[in-house]
Homo-oligomer: A and B are copies of this chain.
């Protein structure tokens, strides 16, 4: 039984953070309640839009993110997981303001790629326009990262993410599956679902016939490793 309490800074979006809690539970080896990992989910969907904050056309989300971190600290959490890729654009600014370790979702995605047997070469990345513009994956990973073009973002990826945030999960499958297939056709060996709304859309339809790195599952596995270090 672990006394390490995981802090989850969520709500971005709330469906993705609920799904993260579900996957955290299902991926934990457990025979009864008391074997599971204690966790506090701070699900604050009022955090200002990360894209507008990045563009400078809306309020900075940092104060709301730090409010959540303060809440998780007060709850006795020992580490923080943030099931939102875009929020990692504020990773360094958050890390400077807390003594708790923050599990980085891009590192978790990289571990998923290794788990899938993809250790180098070309990978596809789907994410929000802000995640792509901030180059969160390109600057942290050694893979060659290919991404949707602007027209594909506008017609396929961005509308699908919005469908999930509006609870229309099934409608997100077709455009996301189409975009992932295009990236594979351009040479990607695997596709990173680099926005936590995207796995929800992809799970709503038939499994894709190529490797996908799910950032929700990856972050859940990273959290389990933190809570239950081997040895």
A residues adjacent to B (C-beta < 8 A): 1, 3, 11-15, 17-19, 21-22, 24-26, 28, 30-47, 49, 71, 74-76, 162, 165-167
How many Å lie between the Cα of A19 and that of B23 in the bound state?
10
How many Å lie between the Cα of A19 and that of B26 in the bound state?
11
For A1, the closest partner residue in chain B by CB is B46
> Is the CB–CB distance between B38 and A40 below 8 Å?
no
A198–chain B nearest beta-carbon distance, Å: 15
How many Å lie between the Cα of A25 and that of B166 in the bound state?
10
Contact of A39 among B1, B43, B76 (CB under 8 A): B43
Contact of A43 among B26, B34, B38 (CB under 8 A): B38
Oligomer: number of copies: 2
Contact of A15 among B26, B37, B166, B167 (CB under 8 A): B26
How many Å lie between the Cα of A10 and that of B15 in the bound state?
17
Contact of A33 among B28, B38, B40, B47 (CB under 8 A): B47
For A5, the closest partner residue in chain B by CB is B44
For A76, the closest partner residue in chain B by CB is B71
- Take A21-B18, A40-B71 as given contacts and tell me if A166 and B45 are in contact as well, using a CB distance cutoff of 8 Å: no
Which of A13, A24, A46: most chain B Cβ within 10 A? A46
30 A-B pairs within 8 Å (CB atoms) are namely: A1-B46, A3-B46, A11-B36, A11-B38, A12-B33, A14-B21, A14-B24, A14-B36, A14-B37, A18-B18, A18-B21, A18-B22, A18-B25, A19-B22, A21-B21, A21-B41, A26-B167, A30-B165, A31-B165, A31-B166, A32-B162, A32-B166, A33-B45, A37-B45, A38-B44, A38-B45, A39-B41, A40-B41, A71-B76, A75-B75
For A162, the closest partner residue in chain B by CB is B32
A227–chain B nearest beta-carbon distance, Å: 11
A57–chain B nearest beta-carbon distance, Å: 15
Q: Which residues of B contact A37 (CB under 8 A)?
A: 14, 45
Q: Which residues of B contact A19 (CB under 8 A)?
A: 22
How many Å lie between the Cα of A205 and that of B94 in the bound state?
43
